[in-house]
Structure 1
């Protein structure tokens, strides 16, 4: 594997994903991971991430100096390169001119790390400090107009540093550089494949679960659906899937989900119709955080009641993904068994936590995977494209796409409008072009004219965005004729709506969802 030591960069997860694109396994660990722990993991290579600090700041994050004696290839990226230089006796200072955004990389040594990276290629810069003196034994690999030492190397010890960010999409030759480091310098083999992961996951689940029973909260999203398929392949009828219908899903989705799993996939699902309970819980509530909180708490109550009636269960299967593992310090280890236990359930439903007396041992087969890897696993084990490519959908569902108070009338209006959006983007074969595409119902009314009569009805907001990971997003440039078609259908077919508007706000400063 390749280890990424994280020094606080917003791109650390992206580095790991780029390494995995080469079919080599990678993990992100904190910068303070001990050399002893690194040696036990026996990585083929280590990448030091960027970070917001300057290496000469008081309290700047540093890795243990003994890392340079492990005999393992190291690639320092931006701050990681500057830290390498400083710890090995070189010099780093504030640059006269910072360098941010795209820059042309001029290659002085086209071998080793920069093999097949084109001279003059574009790389993404984001730094205010620069290397002013290279450590002993290092050589210059490349420069830019503003940065004399844009890439450096100690060929004998296999230490490399780049001042740019090869992991971002704007760096044209970035993936080639990463492949050079992973394959040619670290001598890794492309064994991290979807097929290999599925085989290993099934084997591990069977060995761990034995003849015990497992409960899985099914939401219909790609994570929980892939998990259900994988668990069912591993342990069959020892798995019980529970689908709690809180009444906030899109039109026809609960029925379609149950039909797919029961009739086509032959995976039994325990269905819980709790629509009235959830709607009653948020009756009169207008604050978005209060809505989320009440929906989460009600989910816990329903989950507790149903699991006790179906139980007992030894394990709870959760669709925890690798970003959840990286971003959460909540490991919850049972001191008696050493097992991770659930005092939280994954935020399919934005739940705050399960009751402490309802404790399961966790089984999390997807916890090594990024979202795109989960989709690949889903495809490989037979999950249909309609689920694999399903747009992200918030746990509280349409309840947070209705701004302000939620009512049965408003839910019906939004369901009908949302259905038209989905129908048209599918009919025009553009569904996969968007990260998310949905409708929002505003808690106001505006004047309109329909059939020579004055109307006073709700406006619908269309929100279409493009994104790679949901962390940032841009509003989608949807063709006017498609917007016109969707608008006309909504106004003509959805009672209670007389106006459609389009949201042209990116994230940041906005968010993708409105609540």
Structure 2
């Protein structure tokens, strides 16, 4: 039985980072909504309570019945999780005069406590809260403080229950991984046996059990996620899998042809569908980013519906949804950041069940799984590419001519990154066609043409990202090549904004 840690999500923006850190310890974990704790699961070794955007005394605060997990599993509360446990047990949580946000130092800690073994005095931690625990019950023991926060960490005496008001999951907490390691291994007794190989073995077995002899249609996008999902499914059900790769007219230059070839080499049963005219027609005149995403998402469903009906007795639609897609589409608070065409339910008319074998993985984990299955490196290393494709990189309305311009400029930029050995140092890159025109001079003629923005970011999971400091010489070369070779562009800019506050894509 595969041992696991359950992370109860109370809505924190960093909940997924807790999952990442636990996975990096080769320990399987599942992130579930705070009110969806899995019952009767003997594989659960411990429970982590995440942070939250709410205060514990807020009427809208997310709460659980602690008695359901108290004494049954080791528990670690983080930030809101720590405040919630203290408050529910008779402690006091109060708003601070100023929000405690940023780096802090552990001015005192009990290094003999099981949770804090190997953590040094004055270790840097990351705070992010507007409330603080001002008192704890008599059966609670303070185990760490910072200069600003007296009760930075505590343990319930005689119980396997710990809590910290800082965030061990973020990179800024220097010994955060050590703290989580202490909880996962020393306290919960996990063995660190989860790996890409074990994920493949476990997932293939689960897919065989879930799908049986049913037929499945898979929505391929050409990217890493759906490609790895396809190979996993192919291992599980073979000929019962039919893959559909749709050209919505918003792919990169020559991508439809090249990706189809890659899939055939992987031994997948692939149907290529050129639906570009349909998408261009439905997107004509549409400028709102969310509306464009919804039109493209619905268009995919419509195309898959047609293809699915061509396959006799198909019962499942598989997708390459990964965890950041789920987080960004609908957080536990119910706030949509942006919609993803590959997240959520299917129209009832399709009468298909949804299969998402990568739903709980991060992008880097997906790549490791792909390597474990022997997939070619050029597929594994492909940069992420949005499901709506160039549709969210053309600001304003979409026309075939704008697509042509962007494809040409994007091709020069991506090929340039490859030629200059920069491609693998970048998480994601692309060109954005701006809805502005500017004056230029070419030869003796005055021009009034489009401007484009180059975008290249570094990241590990797409939840946060920083712009890449590409060499000036490279940027100068790209600017010259794009302006000289792409008819319709006379100005090139470089986007130097990070996520947050910006997003990776412009729409």
Q: Residues 194-205 of structure 1 correspond to what in structure 2 (within 5 A)?
A: 194-205=196-207
Aligned counterpart for 2:492 among listed residues 487, 490, 500: 500
Pair 1:320 & 2:321 matched: yes
Q: Residues 79-98 of structure 1 correspond to what in structure 2 (within 5 A)?
A: 79-95=80-96, 98=99
1:225 alignment partner in structure 2: 227
2:479 alignment partner in structure 1: 487
User: What displacement does 1:410 show?
Assistant: 2.1
| 1:147-177 deviation per Cα after TM superposition (whole angstroms, max 9, x unaligned) | 1221222353122121111011111110110
User: What displacement does 1:351 show?
Assistant: 8.4
| 1:335-380 deviation per Cα after TM superposition (whole angstroms, max 9, x unaligned) | xxxxxxxxxxxx8756887542321233332233233322221111
Counterpart contact for 1:33–1:63, Cα < 8 Å: no
Which segment is superposed worse, 308-317 or 468-477? 468-477
Secondary structure at 2:32 match in 1: strand
1:363 alignment partner in structure 2: 355
Name the TM-score, length of structure 2 as normaliser.
Answer: 0.90
Which segment is superposed worse, 16-25 or 78-87? 78-87
The structure-2 alpha-carbon separation of the partners of 1:418 and 1:133, relative to structure 1 and needing over 3 Å to count, comes to same
Counterpart contact for 2:319–2:356, Cα < 8 Å: yes
Secondary structure at 2:435 match in 1: coil
2:166 alignment partner in structure 1: 164
User: What displacement does 1:53 show?
Assistant: 3.0
Q: What is the RMSD computed on CA atoms of the aligned residues?
A: 2.6
CA distance in 1, matches of 2:290, 2:340: 16
Aligned counterpart for 1:186 among listed residues 185, 188, 193: 188
Pair 1:53 & 2:54 matched: yes
User: What displacement does 1:470 show?
Assistant: 2.9
User: What displacement does 1:473 show?
Assistant: 3.4
Aligned counterpart for 2:26 among listed residues 14, 23, 27: 23
The structure-2 alpha-carbon separation of the partners of 1:274 and 1:133, relative to structure 1 and needing over 3 Å to count, comes to closer
User: What displacement does 1:211 show?
Assistant: 3.0
Which segment is superposed worse, 387-396 or 186-195? 387-396
CA distance in 2, matches of 1:245, 1:128: 48
Counterpart contact for 2:10–2:49, Cα < 8 Å: yes
1:109 alignment partner in structure 2: 110
- The runs of 5 or more residues in structure 1 that have no matched partner are 331-346
| 1:187-207 deviation per Cα after TM superposition (whole angstroms, max 9, x unaligned) | 111122111111122122223
Pair 1:453 & 2:445 matched: yes
User: What displacement does 1:140 show?
Assistant: 2.8
Q: Residues 271-420 of structure 1 correspond to what in structure 2 (within 5 A)?
A: 271-322=272-323, 349=341, 354-420=346-412
User: What displacement does 1:139 show?
Assistant: 2.8
Which segment is superposed worse, 43-52 or 220-229? 43-52
User: What displacement does 1:38 show?
Assistant: 4.7
Counterpart contact for 1:465–1:475, Cα < 8 Å: yes
The structure-2 alpha-carbon separation of the partners of 1:138 and 1:353, relative to structure 1 and needing over 3 Å to count, comes to closer
Which segment is superposed worse, 448-457 or 464-473? 464-473
Secondary structure at 2:450 match in 1: strand
Aligned counterpart for 1:2 among listed residues 5, 15, 25: 5
Secondary structure at 2:310 match in 1: helix
- The runs of 5 or more residues in structure 2 that have no matched partner are 332-338
CA distance in 1, matches of 2:45, 2:92: 28
User: What displacement does 1:267 show?
Assistant: 1.6
Secondary structure at 1:100 match in 2: strand
Q: Residues 109-188 of structure 1 correspond to what in structure 2 (within 5 A)?
A: 109-111=110-112, 112-154=114-156, 156-188=158-190
Aligned counterpart for 2:16 among listed residues 1, 13, 16: 13
Secondary structure at 2:317 match in 1: strand
CA distance in 1, matches of 2:183, 2:236: 36
Secondary structure at 1:443 match in 2: strand
Secondary structure at 1:357 match in 2: helix
2:334 alignment partner in structure 1: none
CA distance in 1, matches of 2:420, 2:149: 47
Counterpart contact for 1:122–1:173, Cα < 8 Å: yes
Counterpart contact for 1:90–1:136, Cα < 8 Å: no
User: What displacement does 1:45 show?
Assistant: 1.4
CA distance in 2, matches of 1:296, 1:161: 42
CA distance in 2, matches of 1:498, 1:185: 61
Aligned counterpart for 1:435 among listed residues 427, 451, 471: 427
1:334 alignment partner in structure 2: none
| 1:186-245 deviation per Cα after TM superposition (whole angstroms, max 9, x unaligned) | 111112211111112212222333333221121111111001111112222221111111
Secondary structure at 1:148 match in 2: coil
CA distance in 2, matches of 1:209, 1:367: 16
CA distance in 2, matches of 1:94, 1:457: 54
CA distance in 1, matches of 2:346, 2:8: 33
User: What displacement does 1:280 show?
Assistant: 2.7
CA distance in 2, matches of 1:76, 1:119: 21
The structure-2 alpha-carbon separation of the partners of 1:374 and 1:446, relative to structure 1 and needing over 3 Å to count, comes to same
Secondary structure at 2:436 match in 1: coil
| 1:418-462 deviation per Cα after TM superposition (whole angstroms, max 9, x unaligned) | 011111112222223333211112233322122233223222211
